Chains A and B, each alone.
Chain A
Amino acid sequence: MTRDSQNQKLLMMLMAGMGLVVLVMLASIFMVTRRPVVVVVPGLGETPAATVAPGTADATGGALAGEVPLPEVQLARLATLPASDNPLDPAWEQVATVDVPLQAQQVAEPMLATATVTSVRVQAAHDGQRYLWRLSWDQAEPSTQSDFGEFSDAVALQFPLVDGAPYTMGGPDTPVSILYWKAIWQKDVDEGFQDSTVVRPNAHTDLYWFASQPGPVAADQLAAGDPMARQWLIPASAGNPMADYGRKCPMEAIRAAGFGTSTHEQGNACQARGKWSEGRWQVVFEMPARDGDALIDRFKANPQQQLVALAVWDGAARNRGGLKSISNWIPMRIGQ
């Protein structure tokens, strides 16, 4: 054996030895750091944390051992309902509560980085004529404004209008019905329209040339009066529900069929009332059990297999539109 080939053989053995050592090290690292691998495959339009498949109200039955049971909204049938116009009615203390965890909306842009409201408490009841829900959540200070870069607190209930509607605002063939309450609208109703003259009482105004006298003019007077003054109130003239200077109801009924499709529903008879007290919003929604209403028909057809989803907007955190904390569908059962 020549000296060269001996050297070559030694080198090969050395390399093989080093390779073995590296292999053993890798194997040890793998064994030490190994964890059970959980793969979450989100469904269409679902966030990974969402666990209830759309359209399956009894999904709780499938909960794995050790998992936190899903919240469930029970509408107890009561002979006398709590007052719908007083969110602080002590009668609500007799109604069961369920805390629904919320997560940041992260399905469609613009997305919320982290949930700004992490939980909402739900109570619900009905008397066969009306359905009531009371939603409450912690909010250190209420936000009741709508201004440059400033937004209002809000809350919404969402119901599927057909089976299989995604909880993410429905889909093209799977619409949803939404009840949306907004804090500034409540203030409009309680204290009068939050006009610029109300919000900024010290702002100087010399003369609107269509006005009969110098100084501030109330928007509702303008809207009701001179068509010359109305010509600048384009959204109001176009029927935009945002521009309502004589608001009577602090909530809006909405139909949606996917993100960005929210459409104001005319003539809806639902009502709501919200009140902020001791660091908490309490909002009561009231829905009359009207015959012929698609949603009520669904409630009546299958009272034990309903779904509801919730969303809360924190105005101080500039929540609005898609920037919201939401729940997935949660089961809703209407007691008989």
Chain B
Amino acid sequence: MSNGFRPLASCTSSDSSTRLGREGGQEYEYEKNIRDRPEGRLEGEQEMVKRFNWQIGREQDYPYDAPPPKRQVAYVFDTNKCIECQTCTVACKTCWTSGKGQENIFWNNVETKPYGGYPHAWDSKLMDKCGGCQWNGEQKLVTLTVFEKNGEGKPPLGHMPTERDYSAPNMGEDDLSKSIDLGSYFEGTHEGWLFYLARICNHCDHPACIAACPRKAIYKREQDGIVLVDQERCRGYQHCIEACPYKKVFFNTINRASEKCIGCFPRVEQGNVALCVESCIGKIRMHGFLTTEGPPREDNPLDYIVKIRKLALPSYPQFGTGPNVFYIPPVHVPDPFLEMIFGPGVEEAKELYRNLKNDRQLLGALLLFGASPRIITRFAVEGDEAVGWDVDDVECVRVPFTEPTWTRKHFDEQHGAYRHNAP
């Protein structure tokens, strides 16, 4: 392993039978491929390497080889709690994209599924191009990722939205999956459904934007895995926009260069959560780090929710980029639609969620959502409280499982006034 490549061993499932590792000095086939790779190659020729993608349970092609970052920035969004108030969108836009040329740029957006999407039909257009996706029983992707679809050494499969696709930031808002017959809403639960999907850059393990940029003007930070567009080197070719399956790289028409969510890196460097996370009034978001060096940790809330309990699932894992925003699937939405977006494991995740009241450790982790502006890297359930520690291992939050309630007398003797419910 002269090139310093390490398998993404720590990024595998907690199930020891499927976990990859280097016990016994064994060498994996993809490691052999990398070792045997010819040193000299034609200039410009893009030679693929094999990288393990834990979300699809197999190795896949990717143009670049690199060790995983020291830790990977990651997020869990609870779709069951999102009310699409767009506070996250506004917080992000006010801080980062309220400049000129950024009118249609939303690093954070919240869209209504099944029909909404920004840019318009970002996901269904790519699924049309990819064809159907298939998983085998072991949660291994059988079909090809965007890196493999076009053939060896070719740029990732993608599509280029048009100006019109960016013209309606909340198209399909609150549209139900089907029309409700007149009067049927008086007859119990109706069949129509919708849910809100909050979206930011996924700071992927295998970013398609990086794979597509011929100038290597996009990079993934070693310290936290945040993916950034070099604003000095970008020449606005828009290959990244075409390649990103999530369409989270945007074109700035006056700068004539691409830009994308920066993961609030100045805040992350100080141990604070991203603005979209801190501003979320529904407390649907958790911001943290996935462990990349070593096995997932039980006391890391991100590792615990995503890797160990598998309550939260990546979006469109079949595209193969290894996204790092994980969603707790909405429990009221039918499985087939959810499996299209979140891949296998939807039913299990829903079951976990429905059973949360009996699952103290998992519930404890969820109580910490939106509980602190600090990034929580360690948590524990202590008695009737969930406790979080920040990046400096200083306790930053303590959340009770049951909020205390107080009953006040109707008449306030101190002020000589009656108390009313209304302010």
Min Cβ gap A213→B in Å is: 14
Known contacts A109-B46, A110-B155, A171-B43; A147 and B100 CB within 8 A of each other: no
Q: List 25 A-B contacts (CB under 8 A).
A: A107-B44, A108-B45, A109-B44, A148-B160, A148-B161, A148-B166, A149-B161, A149-B241, A171-B43, A196-B254, A199-B253, A203-B103, A208-B99, A209-B98, A229-B100, A232-B96, A232-B98, A232-B99, A235-B231, A235-B232, A235-B255, A240-B231, A240-B257, A242-B255, A320-B237
Instruction: Return chain B residues, CB-CB under 8 Å to A28.
Output: none
- Closest residue on chain A to residue B44 by CB atoms: A108
Whole-angstrom distance between the alpha carbons of A259 and B45 in the complex? 10
- Chain B residue total in the interface (Cβ 8 A): 45
Contact string, A194-226, partner B, CB cutoff 8 A, digits 1/0? 011001000101001110000001010010000
Whole-angstrom distance between the alpha carbons of A209 and B45 in the complex? 47
Instruction: Return chain A residues, CB-CB under 8 Å to B45.
Output: 108
Contact string, A135-178, partner B, CB cutoff 8 A, digits 1/0? 00000000000111111000000000000001010010000000
Q: Which of B191-244 contact A (CB under 8 A)?
A: 212, 214-216, 231-239, 241
Tell me, yes or no, whether A40 is within 8 Å of chain B by CB: no
Tell me, yes or no, whether A96 is within 8 Å of chain B by CB: no
Contact string, A84-117, partner B, CB cutoff 8 A, digits 1/0? 0000000000000000000000011110000000
Whole-angstrom distance between the alpha carbons of A171 and B43 in the complex? 8
Contact string, A232-260, partner B, CB cutoff 8 A, digits 1/0? 11111011101101000000000000111
Instruction: Return chain A residues, CB-CB under 8 Å to B160.
Output: 148-149, 318
Instruction: Return chain A residues, CB-CB under 8 Å to B231.
Output: 234-235, 238, 240
The 7 closest A-B pairs by CB, nearest first: A232-B99, A108-B44, A243-B255, A321-B237, A238-B232, A235-B255, A149-B160
Min Cβ gap A222→B in Å is: 6
Min Cβ gap A309→B in Å is: 15
Min Cβ gap B255→A in Å is: 4
**A interface vs B, CB < 8 Å?**
44-45, 107-110, 146-151, 166, 168, 171, 195-196, 199, 203, 205, 208-210, 217, 219, 222, 229, 231-236, 238-240, 242-243, 245, 258-262, 318, 320-322
B215 and A260: CB pair below 8 A? yes
**B interface vs A, CB < 8 Å?**
42-46, 94, 96-103, 153-155, 160-163, 165-166, 212, 214-216, 231-239, 241, 251-257, 259
Q: Which of B43, B96, B97 contacts A44 (CB 8 A)?
A: B43
The A contact surface, by secondary structure, is loop
The B contact surface, by secondary structure, is loop
Q: Which of B239, B251, B257, B259 has the most chain A CB within a 10 Å cutoff?
A: B257
A109 and B214: CB pair below 8 A? yes
A258 and B255: CB pair below 8 A? no
Instruction: Return chain B residues, CB-CB under 8 Å to A151.
Output: 238
